[in-house]
Structure formats: C-alpha cells, structure tokens
Structure 1
Amino acid sequence: MTSTIPKIRDALHATFRSGLTRPLPWRQHQLYQLARMAQNERELIYDALQIDLGKPKTEVLVNEVGSIIARAVKSAKQLPEWAKTEYPDVADRQKLWKPAIYKAPKGNVLIISPWNYPMVLSFQPLIGAIAAGCTAVLKPSELLPTFSQLLEEIVPKYLDPNAYRVVNGAVPETTELLELQWDHIFYTGNGKVARIVASAAAKHLSPLTLELGGKSPVIIDSAYDIDLAAKRILWGKCNNAGQICVAPDYVLIQRDKQDELVKAFQKHYNAFFPKGALDSPSFGSIVSDSHYKRLISLLSRTKGEVVLRGRADAARRRLEPTIVKDVVDGDSLLEEEIFGPILPIVPVDSLQQAINFVNARSHPLVLYTFSDNESLKQQLVSETQSGGIVFNDTFQQLAVSELPFAGVGESGYGYQFMKHTYDTFTQLRSSIDMPKEAEAQLAMRYLPHSEEAVKALTAAVYTPIPPNRL
C-alpha cells in the first residue's frame, strides 16, 4: 500500500484543485450519502465491531451509527447557513471597502482515527471535511482489521472515490502518510503518537487538530445525592468498557463519604448486571491482549482496596467493572489514563484539596463535578482547566452536537462537532474591494505626508485610555 499512498494523495489534491468539491449541493449529497451508508450498512458495521471489539449492539447503534446519521443529515441541512459569506460591522468610513469573510475549504486533509469508537471518530471529522469542501484520506486503526477492511469496501460505494479514500495499514502506512504534505491533519488518539504526528505536521507547517485524552476526574460534593452520583458515574464508566477518552478516570470524594459511595456503586452494579458483566451482551471487551495485560498489571500493583472485584477472562479479553477505594497519590491507578473498566476512589479532606489534586496534574479532557452548589460550580469553572466541564452527569455531553468538543494542553487542541468541525476544515478568507470612489478618502496616505495628514494617520496613537480602577 505504501507505494500507492503518494499517488492517492496527489489524485485527491488534483480533485480539490478541479473544484469538484466546491458546490454546496455536491457537498450536501456526499453528506446524505454518508448517512445512507451508516444506515444501510449498520448490520455489517455492527458485525465488524462485534468481531473486533465485542461491542454491544445497542451501544453501536446509538453511539456509533445513530450519531453519524444524525450529524451528517443535520450538517447537510445547516451547511448553506454555515457557508454564507460574512460581512463584519466596520466603521462608517470603511463600509465602502466592502469588507468580507469568505468560507474557503482548506484543501486536502488527513484524518487518523482510533480504535475505541471507530465509526464516530472516523466519520465525525469527515463530516466536517465534506461540509467544508475538502478532499480527505481516512486512516482507520490497524487494531480493528475487520472494521477497517469493511470501510475500505463500503466507503467507495457511497462517497465519491475521487474525493474520499480509505488507506489501511499499520505504522509503515501511517508513517508514509505523515511524510506527505496535507492542508490539515486531524488526529484522535494518545499523547505519545500525537507528538509524532505534530512533529510530522510541523515539517510542512500543516495545521493540526489533536483530540487526545487524559485522566478525567470526578469531584463529588459531599452534600450531593451520593446514590445518584454513583449511578451516573458507573453508567459513564461502563460505556465501551471504559475505553473512551471521556470516561470517568478517578473519583475524588470527602473521606467520610467514601464508604457510602462504594455501597452505592455496588448497588447499581448489581442493578445494571444482575448476573455480572463478564457474559453480559451489554458490556464490551478489551480491545487487545496488550491492553488487557496493561489493565491487569495496574490492578496487581495498586495499594488501594478492591471493593468491587470484577471477574476477568483473559482468553476473551473480558474484565468486569472494578472499584478500588483508598487510592493515594503515586498509586499505579493514577500513573496514566486507565482507559478501561477500573475506577479508583481517592479520598480527600476537603473540596479545596480535590481542586488542588486536579490542578497538580495535566489538564484533563473533561472535568466531572456532582454538586448543587452554584458557588462551588463557579469556583471550579474559575480555578480549574479542562477541555470541558460537566455538572451532575458523565458521558452525556457528547449528545449535545452544538457544543464544541476539544481538549486543552495535554488533552489536545482544536474543536469538533457539527459547525465546529466545519470551522476546523474551513479557512476564513478575508477580503476588501476598494472602490474608485474611495480615492479622496485615501489621499492622505500617499507621500509626501503633510502635517495634517500625519496628524490624521497617527490619531490612533493618541487614543484616550480609561484610568485604572484597581
């Protein structure tokens, strides 16, 4: 495949230069075709994800297939509004210049997607690229051989292969792709690989979006309904067996409420999985042997107390939700993003200590907080940094397509979801159109400058500045 990759890139670049992707009706048609693909091929998509990931069917249909259909259709309908040329409000003397902001596609883009939510994290960026009028190469994860091969087969049946191509493979193919120049690179994955992607992009000065992860903490106010918090946290942790960048990674709660939280977790686990999660069709598997072994190693080294011990099945890469209490700083479960169904509880003596604990670490992709205290909520908004902040639930923020999804610092940069993804792949191309009639207005700029002209041209230097009020 590597020998054909430059030819694929060049062919897509030629397509973009031809103007094929520019007309809005063409883009809308491709978006509707993408929705049709997800809808028509949903059983094949589910079967592939069941083979590769053991994903529950309802989870695939809701979080993978359904979300892509809804966002593709909605994007197609809203595209004419997004693509409108903007005319900024300017000073009266500049209105004759006709200042405008055109929405221009960035060009030929590369989308590298991960294994954990391969449908949504492949096509969500592609929806924005199509809407913006870009051509694109889609590189799915090699950890999903069945699903990735399926994409290579079905994408050309629905999307124009002159504009959109799937490139499969592992490290050699990804390396080859990254050696080429792209007009934007969109990478979703981990920080280690992100640094390689960023270095490759820098060689060509290619703009870059990095959707990463990190340890997304949960802070529980002791005055909140502990039972409800446990139910919502456990539900968020069980999605894709915890293998999602916005999964609750660890819980901070005041020490005297820890045991109450543990009992609530045990109660809701039994309600979710009356016969346990090991054989439940509603609970997924770990993606690979190496990830499974990593999770087992983390558990084997923890100094915390396992209070809900999930059963494990190495042959099937199954690991039930596992709760560990009395976890302290420096524990194995706090070393790295867990990315699995293990949830450590870190007891603290105050909410301020919880805030300090979060702030002492890399900025998370999302900070979850359970509290009815508006003052505390505003304190967390003011005193912490994270890609997003969610109050009184987990995971559900992903259902709000109008909100921008992004990280900050170690959890990534750049925005996506609906118009925000369209904006990611769109250049704001500024313009003025100076009429001949403005010549009298412009006369003072020409040399030589009279004293009166100098005074007028430098007037901004002497702009009055309000006095300090502090």
Structure 2
Amino acid sequence: MATLVYTPIEDIPKIHARAREAFESGKAKSIPFRKEQIAQVGYLLKDNEDRLREALRQDLGRPHLETDFLDFSAVYIDVAKAYNSLTKWTAPKKAEFDFRFWAMGPKYRHEAKGVALIIAPFNGPVVMTMSPLIGAIAAGNAVVLKPSEQTPATSALFAELLPKYLDAELYHVINGGVPETTKVLELQWDHILYTGNGRIARVVAAAAAKNLTPLTLELGGKNPVVLDPKSDFKLAAKRILWGRCINSGQACVCPEYVLVPEEHQDAFVNAVKDVYHEFYPDGPEKSDSLSRIVGESHAQRIKNLLDNTKGKIVFGGEVDVAKKYVAPTLVRDVSGDDSLMSEEIFGPVLLVIPVKDTDEALRFINRRDHPLVVYVFSQNKAFQNKILNNTKSGSFVANDTMIIVGVAGLPMGGVGPSGYGYYTGFDMFEQFSHKRACIDSPSWVDMFGFGFRYPPYKSIAPLNALLPSLPPRPGKKSGTQR
C-alpha cells in the first residue's frame, strides 16, 4: 500500500503556477481532449479497483460492496454521462426569441473558469474527489485536488495514479494537513469546491472572499425523517437503518433522526430492532458489513455524545475508540436539547424523537438549520406534500434514504447551512463553467429602431416602441399600462 507523503509547502505555489500555465496554453479547450481525460478518470478507477477497495478498507474499514455502491458506481455514471453529453453541453445555446434582438443572434456558451481547486472529504474519498474532477475537466479547467489527510491510503493512491492517467500539467494532487491547506487557500483560484463541515467551510469561504473566488460548498446537517403512522414500519425501519449505518453513518445525506407520533414510537422501535437483528445476526462487531469510524478522535466525540444523552439506548451504544468502532445504535425518547442533537453525529447512531403530531414535527424541523435532505415515509401523497411544502432542504426523498445522490439528472446540493451550489451531472459541469453571453449587432439595425440612441437626442418615442407593455395594474380587470 502506498504511503502518504505530504506535498512540501514550498512546492504548492509552483504546482498552482504549472496548472495556470497549462490552462493558459489552451490545450483543455479541445472537446476531444476533454473526453479523453474524462474516459481516463474512468479507467483510473477500473484498472485499480482492487487497490482502491483495499485502501478504503484500510482507511475506513469499508466493506467492498459499499465502496462499489457508494464510490465506483457513482463515478462510472458521471464518466459516461459527461463523456456522452459533452458535445451537447458545450454547444452554444440560443437565447429565447425576442423580435427586438433576433437580428443580433443572442446566445451564450459555457467557458472554463480557469484553475479549479477541489477539497475532498474523508467519508467519500473516491466519489467526492473524482466526480467533481469530471465536472471540472468537462468544463475545460485545470484542476488541483486536495484529498483528505484522514484517508491516507486512498490519498496516496491518488497522488500516485493521477499523473499516470491524466495530463500531468493540467491536473495535480496536493496532499497534506492544515499547514498545506492553509497555503493552498492563500492562492488565487477561479473556482473552489469544498465538501465537509460548516466550521471548515467558513474558513474556506473567508479565504475565497479575499480573492472574490466563486464557491461550491457541499456540507451536511442533521437530516430528519418524518414518519407517517400509516406507513409500513418494517420497510421504513429497513431503509432508515441501512441509510444510517452505511459507511458507518459517515455521509452527509444519512438520515439522523426520526420524528414519530409518540403513540407509535414503540411500534417503530420494535421494527428497527427486528431489522437490526436481520442485518447483524452475529452482532455488528463481528460483521464484515459495517465500516469503521475514520479516526479515534471522531470515535471519542461520538462516545461523548452517547455518554451524555438523556435518551434511552435501545440497542448498541458500545464504542471502542482504539478500534475506531461504534456499534449501530438506536436511541429513543430523545428531546430537542439532547447532547445527540447538539451537532451532526456522523456515526451509526439513529435517534427517535416522539412528537404529538405532524405539525409538531414540522415545527421541530423548521426551528433548526435547513438540512441537506428531508426524508418522509408515507404512501399518502397529501402527507408527503405537506412535509415537502412546509420545509426547506437541499433535497426531498419519500420512502427511501441515501439513493437520491445517484439519480441521474437531478441536482445535488444544500441550502443555507447545508451548503450551496451543485455537483452532479450537468449541474456539476455548470458549477465549473462561466456562461458567456454573446451578440453580433449588424449595422442595419440602426435604421430599424436603434438609431434613436445617438446624440443629439430627439424623441423618446422609438424607445417606447421597443419596450414591452406592462401587465394589468393590480386591481384593474383588464387593460395594460406603459
């Protein structure tokens, strides 16, 4: 297994300069070149699947199936989508027809922003590094990747493999911790995509603001589940517990707490207990289907939250900090001010919060930061729509968890404290693009309406003729106003 070597700090400005020079050479403007590089991202993964699986096993204790499901499959989908769609994505787009300006051929096109910085997290170190890279390449940028130092085996592999598969002048890897990242953020970038927590996001945003650098922030939050008492509790329990325990709960879209009418809490808890025993018949510690927490400090943080909860632990609760193990845990009778509600847990701990009714559930959600995802389990469309229409979140999912991130064609991103911007599919391509508007005004348009603009000014009538009519004045039954 490759050993992670931090990039010397004095080399970081040189890497940035190389990427800038390569971008300015214009080689990434070629659509065939971009498609070739996108394909190479796919083969970087395909040729090294076993090495990457083992790296993720070493970094996260990740079961191979989870790596294939969470990381590889999503990247392969993005590779195919970007490769097959790039010609369409980059083609100039005509503006909507307007008879006043049609002769100028108004259109816009997507152009590269320049040199992009992608700061990736530890919890999805392949998909959250490679998928944004695909979007940035598709848009024609040079790219510098900063993988997480908390997944050293995977990050070391990226440093080894990237120059073997991609253009070594345009695409770079910088590895390191806080000093190296601090140095990176001192430099001028044309776009930064950061995935992680809100605390570090504020540092990244402040650094970007100094250079007026545009940002995409993919953050997290405490994602709620609203349970319709008429829903299938067994199905809900299966999908919620799976979503909570995959990657050991270390995913920004994991469901975190379930709001259930208090008279139905026992029934739901029993359903989760049944599913738990089906998932881990010999106990989770012996299971090869459960990841580990990324580091001892994170495991200790989760232990502290569990030690201080006033809720009732139904099952689990065991934490072995040295082994980075947190057992799948269900805690019932949790209140809004509990220790487990004080921050995003980022571990396999599911909370059950009893509420009086759906209206109280909505108030509970809306008193808190907007989450990345709101989940609801109900076959009743009116119930679903009540939750959808009275909450705000990055995404909304009914009757499942997690899988929305893999649905092609949907934007994925947060709102407010859960982030802003998008990074899947075409939306990811747009994040790294500048929409450049273009017109070509022929000389003869001055004879047909635009000659009035030159001094000496004579009459405003030609201008009025070019303006649209206002809609009816509010309160009037008909007629238009100028």
TM superposition score category, shorter chain reference: over 0.9
Tell me what 2:480 maps to: none
Q: Distance in 2 between matches of 1:228 and 1:339?
A: 23
1:464 and 2:470 equivalent?
yes
Q: Distance in 1 between matches of 2:189 and 2:17?
A: 10
Query: CA offset at residue 469 of structure 1?
Result: 6.2
Q: Distance in 1 between matches of 2:466 and 2:75?
A: 50
Find the residue that maps to 1:165 and give its secondary structure: strand
Paired letter, 1:269: Y
Deviation by residue 1:362-417 (Cα, 9 ceiling, x = unmatched): 00000001112212222222211000010111011122021100000000000110
Match of 1:74 among 70, 81, 84: 81
1:35 and 2:42 equivalent?
yes
Query: CA offset at residue 238 of structure 1?
Result: 1.2
Q: Check conservation: 2:299, 2:319, Cα contact below 8 A.
A: no
1:449 and 2:445 equivalent?
no
Q: Distance in 2 between matches of 1:106 and 1:241?
A: 36
Q: Check conservation: 1:36, 1:69, Cα contact below 8 A.
A: no
1:14 and 2:35 equivalent?
no
Query: CA offset at residue 281 of structure 1?
Result: 1.1
Q: Distance in 1 between matches of 2:434 and 2:213?
A: 13
Query: CA offset at residue 462 of structure 1?
Result: 8.3
Match of 1:342 among 342, 349, 355: 349
Q: TM-score, normalised by structure 1?
A: 0.97
Tell me what 1:95 maps to: 102
Tell me what 1:403 maps to: 410
Q: Check conservation: 2:216, 2:422, Cα contact below 8 A.
A: yes
Paired letter, 1:447: P
Paired letter, 1:91: D
1:260 and 2:267 equivalent?
yes
Match of 1:50 among 34, 47, 57: 57
Q: Check conservation: 2:306, 2:340, Cα contact below 8 A.
A: yes
Q: Distance in 2 between matches of 1:402 and 1:464?
A: 36
Q: Distance in 1 between matches of 2:244 and 2:188?
A: 38
Tell me what 2:244 maps to: 237
Tell me what 1:161 maps to: 168
Unpaired segments ≥5 residues, structure 1:
none
Q: Check conservation: 2:422, 2:428, Cα contact below 8 A.
A: yes
Find the residue that maps to 1:339 and give its secondary structure: coil
Match of 1:150 among 153, 157, 161: 157
Match of 1:130 among 122, 126, 137: 137
Q: Check conservation: 2:306, 2:317, Cα contact below 8 A.
A: no
Paired letter, 1:54: G
Query: CA offset at residue 460 of structure 1?
Result: 7.1
Find the residue that maps to 1:260 and give its secondary structure: helix
Query: CA offset at residue 151 of structure 1?
Result: 0.7
Paired letter, 1:455: A
Find the residue that maps to 2:179 and give its secondary structure: helix
Deviation by residue 1:417-446 (Cα, 9 ceiling, x = unmatched): 011100100110001011122231221111
Q: Check conservation: 1:278, 1:311, Cα contact below 8 A.
A: no
1:425 and 2:432 equivalent?
yes
Q: Distance in 2 between matches of 1:159 and 1:417?
A: 21
Q: Distance in 2 between matches of 1:306 and 1:245?
A: 23
1:285 and 2:292 equivalent?
yes
Tell me what 2:308 maps to: 301
Q: What does 1:357-396 correspond to in 2, within 5 Å?
A: 357-396=364-403
Q: Return closer, same or farther for 1:462/1:24 CA change in 2, 3 Å cut-off.
A: closer
How big is the alpha-carbon RMSD for the aligned residues of Structure 1 and Structure 2?
1.3
Identity across matched positions, percent:
43
Deviation by residue 1:317-362 (Cα, 9 ceiling, x = unmatched): 1112100000012100100011101111000000000000000000
